[in-house]
Amino acid sequence: MSDKSIYIYGFININEEQIFDYVGIEGGEVYTQPYQDIAAVVSDSPFTQFDSLPKETLFLHLAVYQAVIEKVMKNHYIIPMKFGTVVKENEEVKRIMKKGYDRIKTSIIAMEDKIELDVVAMWSNLDAVLKTIGEEEEIKKLKEEANSKPPDQRLEAGISLGKMVKASLDEKRTKYDSEILRVLRKKSEKLLIHDAMDDSMIMNVAFLITKDDKEIFESKVDQLDERYQDSVDFRIVGPLPPYSFCTFEVRKANFSEISPARKVLGLGEKSTALKIREAYWGLSKKFHPDRYPDDADAQKRFENITKAYQLLNDYCEGEQCSLKEKDVTEWLVVRPMARLGANT
């Protein structure tokens, strides 16, 4: 195995070779590899197995990855590539751009003049909020009842009380979240709602906005900060490239997984998306666990059928697809990642 690799950061809208005046992961020179009228932003580095790196090293690489993309962003519209995308040869970079050209080019055009701003809202004083909740009549009553119970029954009462406090906190969070989003979404083209990390966080939302609206958007956040000054603290992260809305990934197929899946569904070496669905529907009806209540293996068999369908359905995007080893090995697709969160 080669001890060198090429790290891909993202794609920009130029058709020339360019060397940037900053370094990438492991100190490699950052440069472009053009294809038609787009180019990949890359750097050379020692071969790295990202999923086996220590956490500290991984965070360091992530920081460099983000720094490179955000520096490139100052002069170019960039579509980020998923963190940890490494290939072995320059030809593989060109193959990725050739396979993904239409999607990449379309995304670069769609994201022109767009930036991402992430807005985090936190309780200014969570303890004070919880104290206020503790004064609610229903919770005070339940607290008194819990304290009056024998010691062996207080644990269960305490759990019920905790659930009620959490429900009240979530209700308050939802109220604030809705009010804040109602103001900010008017100046955004898209937004992606991420899960709150803990009870101290009210909302964590990525907004896609045009560059010209940046100051107006930030002024709206300032107005909200003034409005909720005694209860909510706001933080804006950005401007960022469109990480939450248009980060690309490279998907490859593993013949050692595709071949057994094909056999599970009873398919030949050539198929279509329709044939894969029809095979799955037929087998899922025939082997549904409800039809075999006394068969201990029924659930596992059904799960294997479903897993095989999901794998082949993801692989076979077109009208016709080959399931032969050579074609599966060469299969590659470049596309935007599915994002976690509520996208609106």
Q: Quick one: CA torsion of 225, 228, 233, 235, rounded to 10 degrees?
A: -30
- Tens of pLDDT, residue by residue over 136-170, are 777 777 676 666 767 666 666 667 777 877 888 88
Q: What angle do CA 323, 328, 329 make, to 5 degrees?
A: 155
The two tokens of residue 85 are: 């995308």
End-of-domain residue from the set 111, 128, 158 = 111
Which of the four pLDDT bands, split at 50, 70 and 90, describes residue 243?
very high
CB 201 within 8 A of CB 121: yes
Mean pLDDT of the chain: 86
Report if residue 248 sits inside a domain.
no
CATH number for 173: 3.30.70
| Residue at 247 is within a domain | no
Give the list of residues 6+ apart from residue 119 with CB closer than 8 angstroms, or none.
180, 184, 203, 204, 205, 207, 221, 234, 235, 236, 237
Average pLDDT over residues 62-91: 90
Do 126 and 105 lie in a common domain? Answer: no
14 and 98 part of one domain:
yes
C-alpha closest to that of 196 among 263, 249, 123, 87 = 123
- Domain with residue 298: its CATH number is 1.10.287.110
Same domain for 283 and 211: no
> pLDDT value at position 153?
65
User: Residue 312 is part of which domain span?
Assistant: 253-343
pLDDT at site 1? 42
pLDDT tens readout for residues 298-341? 899 999 999 999 989 888 876 678 889 898 888 888 888 866 44
Clarify whether residues 123 and 97 are in a common domain: no
Question: Nearest Cα to 64, choosing from 77, 48, 75?
Answer: 48
Tell me what pLDDT residue 137 has: 76
pLDDT at 342: 47
Q: In the predicted model, what is the mean pLDDT of residues 207-225?
A: 92
Residue ending a domain, among 217, 240, 263, is: 240
Domain count, the chain: 3
pLDDT reading at 343 higher than 80: no
* Mean pLDDT (whole number) for 270-282: 90
Q: What pLDDT score was predicted for residue 341? A: 46
Sorted by sequence, the CB contacts under 8 Å of residue 302 that are 6+ apart come out as: 284, 287, 288, 289
Do both 99 and 132 map to the same domain? no
Q: Give the three-class secondary structure for 324.
A: coil
Tell me, yes or no, whether 300 and 204 share the same domain: no
pLDDT in tens, 5-37: 899 999 999 989 999 999 898 888 999 999 999
35 with 125, same domain: the answer is no
pLDDT, residue 157, reads 63
Provide the pLDDT for residue 67. 92
